[in-house]
Amino acid sequence: MMSKVWLVTGASRGLGCEIARAALDAGETVVATARSADAVRDTFAHEHNRLHALALDITDAEAPNAVVTETIERFGAIDVLVNNAGYAELGFFETITDAAVRRQFEVNLFGTMNVMRAVAPHMRQRRSGLIVTISSVSGLVSNGGGAVYSASKFAVEGWMEGFAQELAPLGVRSLLVEPGMLRTDFMDGKSARFGSIDIPDYAEAIAQYRAFVDGANGNQPGDPKLLAERIVALASHGEVPSRLVFGDDARQWASAKVDQLRQEIVQFADRG
């Protein structure tokens, strides 16, 4: 089987790094991007000659076009796109500025769309390709303290659920990945941000939430290496599920949401 060409965003650390590494271990060619190409090179320390690091700021609408063009000119195709770059704007909604909310959407939603606009025409033309969108169980279930982050991921889910159906007749497959809490640095200061507006009514609840996040950071139950391996294995299958809910915590939260929805649909059905 010929090796595939993967394009992975946000690949300098966290889950993106693990996906790039798992694809390399499977014999694939990987174009790994981050805002700094040097950050990617530092992470991988020249351990693979099939890894090619490129700088990409996904919030720059034109930047993905250059990366896609360079990748196709060099390797002939993009077989798998992993839209992974993103961060979490955590905190209670009223404590988060308008600018911070917009930044969350600029990266998690519009940045992901920028990359997609650059890659989709190539995959449509080839009638082939797999789009892996890294969402979160927070794209299915929202909780206090995560409302803004969840809003961005709910938006990603709604967009990709519909866009996937537009692409499917043209031979392009789609996989939405919804992990629970993974042992990455996603919840530390490099990735997670918190509200900056002081509101006394929320002070006690916010203190409890911050304590929860601080306690969870580094102790998350999900194994990012295992998820990366699952994604790479699924990419080699002819059929992929539309969604992959990963982790016991994610499955519990998603199942509870489904159960609650089903109950409310029945309980409050139009009595006519």
Domains, in order of start, for the chain: 5-267 (3.40.50.720)
Number of Cα atoms under 13 Å in the Cβ half of residue 176:
23
Sheet holding 129-134, edge to edge: 51-55, 29-34, 5-8, 80-83, 129-134, 172-179, 243-246
pLDDT band at 220 (very low <50, low <70, confident <90, very high): low
- DSSP-derived letter for residue 132 is E
pLDDT beyond 60 at 272 = no
pLDDT beyond 80 at 218 = no
| Residues 114-149 pLDDT 10s | 999 999 999 999 999 999 999 999 999 999 999 999
Going by C-alpha positions, the residue among 41, 37, 121 that lies closest to residue 77 is 121
Give the model's pLDDT for residue 73: 97
Average pLDDT of the chain is 92
Going by C-alpha positions, the residue among 77, 93, 11, 88 that lies closest to residue 48 is 11
Give the model's pLDDT for residue 55: 97
Average pLDDT over residues 86-104: 95
* The pair of three-digit structure tokens given for residue 10, joined into one six-digit string: 């946000």
| Residues 66-94 pLDDT 10s | 999 999 999 999 999 999 999 999 999 99
Q: Mean pLDDT lowest for which of 123-132, 145-154, 260-269?
A: 260-269
- Residue carrying the six token digits 């649909």: 265
Residues with a catalytic annotation lie at 135, 149, 153
Average pLDDT over residues 172-190: 78
pLDDT beyond 90 at 26 = yes
